[in-house]
Structure 1
Amino acid sequence: MSGGKMLRQIQFWILAALATVLLSGCGSEYLVLNPKGPVAETQYNLIIISTILCAVIIIPVLALTAFIVYRYRDTPGNKAPYKPEWAHNTALEVIWWGIPVVIIAILGYFTVRDVYVLKESPNKEVAPMTIQVTALDWKWMFTYPDQNIATVNYLEIPAGVPIHFQVSAEAPMNSFWVPELGGQIYAMAGMATELYLQADKPGEFQGFSSNFSGKDFAHMQFKVVAKPQDEFNKWVDEVKGTTPAMSKEDYNELKKPGLTEKKLYSAFPEGLFEEILARYSHGHDMHHVMQKQPAEADDKSTETSSETHQMSDMSSMPGMDHSGMKH
C-alpha cells in the first residue's frame, strides 16, 4: 500500500470518529448530556472534566501512532533513522508515566469531591421531599409518604425542590434512572438505597430501568413531570379527590409479573414501603436510609410532628421498637 493511500485512510477514520462523537450530542434526545437539575449538572461537569483529561492522553497517542506509522513505513527510499539498539530514555519515561499519574490524581480529586457533594441535598435552603420507589416486575411504584398518595409508572414532583428518593425492590435487582436529572441508583430487595434529584424548572422527563431484570425490563419506563409547587399541590388534591385508594389486594396484583399502564391512588396501606423492605432485609438495619430529612420550618411543632410520624413509621417495621432501634 502506498504512503499516500495509507495517509488518506488514516484521515478518513479520524474524521469518522470525530463525526460520530460530535454529531451524537446534537439533539436534546441525548439525555445524559442534557442536564436539567443541579445533580445532573454536577455529573455532567464531571463527564466533561473526565473527557478532557482522557483526551490529554488519547489525542497525542493517536497522533503519534499516525505519525509513526507514516514516518517509519516500510517503503523504498524512506530516510527515517533505524536504531535497533535504542532501549531507554529517562525524559520519555518521565513523560509517559508522569502525565498519566498526574491526570489520575486530578480525576480522583474531582470524583471524590463530587461523590460527597451528591450524597447531600443539592439545595440546603429548601426542605427535601421524600418519595419511596419500589421496582416491581415490570413496573415502578412510587409512594409519597408525606402526601399519602401512590402512583405507578408516573412521577410528579415540584420544580426547584430537592427530592429524596428511597429506592428498593420486590423483584429482581433493578436500576432507577432519570438521565436528565441525575445518575442511576440500584433497586435491590431487602435494601434501601437513596438518591437526591432536583428539576430546576417545570418540564417533562423520561425515566428508565437501566438494569436487565427479565423479558419486559425494556418497557419499565415512566414519565416524570415537574411543576411549580402550587400546581403540584393542586395535583395532589386532585389525586386524593378523584382516584381510589390502594388496598393490599391491589398491591398484590401490581407485584405480579407483567406490564401495566399509569395508575394513581389516593392512598396506600400505611407502612407499605417499610413492610416490603423488612420482608427481605433479613434483619439488616436500614434506619440510616429510612430516616426522613428534617423539614426546615420556623414552627418547631411542625418538626416535632414530622419526627413523631417518622418514628411511628419505623416502629411499624418488624424488629423495631418505638425508639426506631432494632430489638
Structure 2
Amino acid sequence: MPAQQQKWLNLFMKVLPLSLLFLLTGCSERFVLLNPKGPVAEVQKDLILWSIWFMLFIIVVIFVLFAIILWKYRERPENLDYEPPDQHGNTLLEIIWTAIPVLIVIALAIPTVKATFELEKPPKESRGVEPIVIHATAADWKWIFSYPEENIETVNYVNIPKDVPVEFKLTAVGGMSALWIPELGGQKYNMAGMGMTLYLQADHVGTFKGRNSNFTGEGFAHQTFDVNAMEKEDFYKWVKETQASAPLLTKKQFNEIIQVGVLKDKLTFSGTHLAWVDFAKPGEHLDNIPAKEKHGTIKLEEVESDHHDNREHESHQHEGH
C-alpha cells in the first residue's frame, strides 16, 4: 500500500472510535425529547423523527449519487480528451432540480402545519374531558403557578392530574421567558402584558423537569420547576389538604416573591395573586419595574417613557378613526 494511502487509513482508524463514542452520547434515557410522557410530546416526537428520517434519506441519496458520479466520470487514460456535452438551457433538468426542493419542503411542511394547528387545542385523546386551568407566571428567576378554580398558588412546582388536559395560561412579570416541559411538550413564550395558552397532558405518573428555555440573565440556569403528575384521586386529595392547611397568600408575600433573584424554595399558598393583579393585562406588569431598576437590569424612566409613547400613539390612532 502506498505511504499516502497508509497515512489516511491510520488517521481514519484513529478517528472512527472517537466518532462512535460521540454517537453513543445520544443513547441515554436523559434524552427527554424522545421520551414522551404525554400525547402532546408524542405528536412532537413523531414529527421530529419524521423530519430526521426524511432528511437522512435525502443525505443517503445524495452521497450515493455523489459516489456513482465520482466513479463513473473519474479520469482514466482512455478519456483524457473527453468533453462533456453542453447542457445549458436543458428544460427537463431545470424542472427536475427545481421541483425536488419544492417537494421536500411540502413533505416537511404538511405534517408540521397539521401538528401545529392540532396542538393549539386540547389533546384529541381527551377532548371530552374538561381541562384544568393553571396560570403559569414567569418571574426573574422563578415560576408561579395559580389554580383559579381551586384557589391555590404554588411556586417552583406544579401538581397536575394524570390523563387530564392542562390549559396553561402563560404570562410574565418581567422579561420574556418560555415555559418548557420536554417530556410533556414543546415550549411557548411567557410575555408580560399579554397571555398565551399552552395545552399539555401527562399520561404517566411521575415527576418531570420544567425550565425556562429563553435566556433571561444571570439566574436563568436556576429557573426550573418540578411537574408532579399524579392519579386523579391523589391530586384532588392534595387540593383539599392545601385549601385547608396552606397559608393565605398576601400582597406583601407575593411582592417579595416576584423580586428579582433566584428562589430555590418550593412554596404553597391558598388564594392566588389573580385576586388583585393579572400580568397578562397590558400595564399591570409595570408594578415590578422598580425592583428591576434596583438591580440595574432596566431603567424606570425608559419604561415609563416607552409606556407613555405607546399610550400617545394609541390615542392618536383612536382620534384618527
TM value normalised by structure 2: 0.76
Q: 1:215 aligns with which of 204, 218, 240?
A: 218
Contact in 1 for aligned 2:163/2:203 (Cα 8 Å)? yes
Say which of 232, 245, 262 aligns to 2:248: 245
The code of the aligned residue for 2:239 comes to V
Is 2:36 the partner of 1:35?
yes
Deviation larger for 213-222 or 236-245: 236-245
Label 1:93 to 1:5 Cα distance change in 2 as closer, same or farther (>3 A).
farther
CA gap of 1:11–1:73, structure 2 versus 1, over 3 A, is farther
CA distance in 2 between counterparts of 1:169 and 1:16 reads 44
How many residues were matched structurally?
Answer: 279
Query: Which residue does the alignment assign to 2:257?
Result: 254
How far, CA to CA, are the matches of 1:26 and 1:11 in structure 2?
23
CA distance in 2, matches of 1:217, 1:227: 28
User: Structure 2 counterpart of 1:54, which letter?
Assistant: M
User: Does the alignment pair 1:167 with 2:170?
Assistant: yes
Amino acid at match of 2:51: S
Aligned position for 2:304: none
Contact 2:177 / 2:216 at 8 angstroms: preserved in 1?
yes
**Partners of 1:57 and 1:100 within 8 A in 2:** no
Distance in 1 of aligned mates of 2:68 and 2:9? 9
Distance 1:17 1:42, change over 3 A: farther
Where does residue 203 of structure 2 map in the other structure?
A: 200
Match for 1:212: what amino acid?
Answer: F
Residue 136 of structure 1 is matched in structure 2 by: 139
More helix by proportion, 1 or 2? 2
CA contact (8 A) 1:171 1:189 kept: yes
Q: 1:111 corresponds to which letter in structure 2?
A: T
Per the alignment, residue 57 of structure 2 pairs with 56
CA contact (8 A) 1:24 1:30 kept: no
- State whether structure 2 residue 135 is matched by structure 1 residue 111: no
Q: Quickly say closer, same or farther: Cα 1:5–1:280, change in 2 above 3 A.
A: farther
- The equivalent of 1:310 in structure 2 is none
2: distance between equivalents of 1:12 and 1:99? 38
Amino acid at match of 2:224: Q
Structure 2 vs 1, CA of residues 61 and 253 (structure 1 numbering), >3 Å: closer, same or farther? same
**Distance in structure 2 (CA, Å) of the matches to 1:236 and 1:252:** 24
Q: Which runs of 5+ in 1 are unaligned?
A: 283-327
Aligned match of 1:285 = none
Render the CA deviation track for 1:144-194: whole Å, top value 9, x for unaligned. Answer: 011100001001100000000000001101110000000000000001011
Larger Rg: 2
Distance apart, 1:231 and its partner CA? 0.1
| 1:256-311 deviation per Cα after TM superposition (whole angstroms, max 9, x unaligned) | 11111111112224434x532225379xxxxxxxxxxxxxxxxxxxxxxxxxxxxx
Q: Please say if 1:186 is aligned against 2:180.
A: no
One-letter amino acid of the counterpart of residue 107, structure 2? I
Amino acid at match of 1:267: G
Do the aligned partners of 2:194 and 2:280 also contact (CA within 8 Å) in 1? yes
Aligned position for 1:265 = 269
Amino acid at match of 1:162: P
**Gap change, CA 1:58 and 1:236, over 3 Å in 2:** same
Correspondence for 1:317: none
Residue 101 (str. 1) matches residue 102 (str. 2) = yes
- Give, in angstroms, the shift of residue 19 of structure 1: 6.3
State the percentage of identical aligned residues. Answer: 41
The RMSD of aligned alpha carbons is: 3.1
C-alpha distance 245-63 of structure 1, shift in aligned 2 (>3 A): farther
Following the alignment from structure 2 to structure 1, what is the Cα–Cα distance between the partners of residues 208 and 192? 26
Partner of 2:153, secondary structure, is strand
